[in-house]
Amino acid sequence: MTTIVTPQDETDSHSRRLGRLLVRMVRDSDATIPPERRARRTLAEMAPGYTRPPLLSFHSPAPARAADDACVLCGYWTCRCGQAVTAPSRASATGAVR
């Protein structure tokens, strides 16, 4: 039985070998550095005890609508929904009685 090696398989094996080589080189060079002089590389090393907030929350409350947001009904920044209603007469607005 003959196994056919495709260029993709060959590239993958070269990539894996390169990855293993680089990891080994990093570990070897890290071993020569005293622990107190070693650079922190992970979040756990940089900030011990820190817990990250969740990126996505399915039970979060709906965001509050900003005061300067557009009107939900008409879509204008200055609401024009009230313009469809007839304006009160001047007499009723000032409270004058006839």
Provide the mean pLDDT of the chain: 76
92 falls within a domain: no
25 falls within a domain: yes
Average pLDDT over residues 39-66: 78
Alpha helices in the chain (DSSP H): 7-31, 43-46, 90-94
**The model's pTM:** 0.34
pLDDT digits (tens, 9 = 90+) for 11-49: 788 899 999 999 999 999 989 999 888 888 898 889 999
Domain count for the chain: 1
Among 73, 91, 93, smallest CA distance to 83 is for 73
Torsion angle of alpha carbons 64, 67, 68, 71, nearest 10°? 80
| pLDDT band with cut points at 50, 70 and 90 for residue 62 | low
The residue range of the domain holding 27 is 1-34
97 falls within a domain: no
Are 71 and 80 contacting, i.e. CB atoms less than 8 angstroms apart?
A: yes
Q: Among 52-56, 62-66, 78-82, 84-88, name the most confident range.
A: 52-56
21 falls within a domain: yes
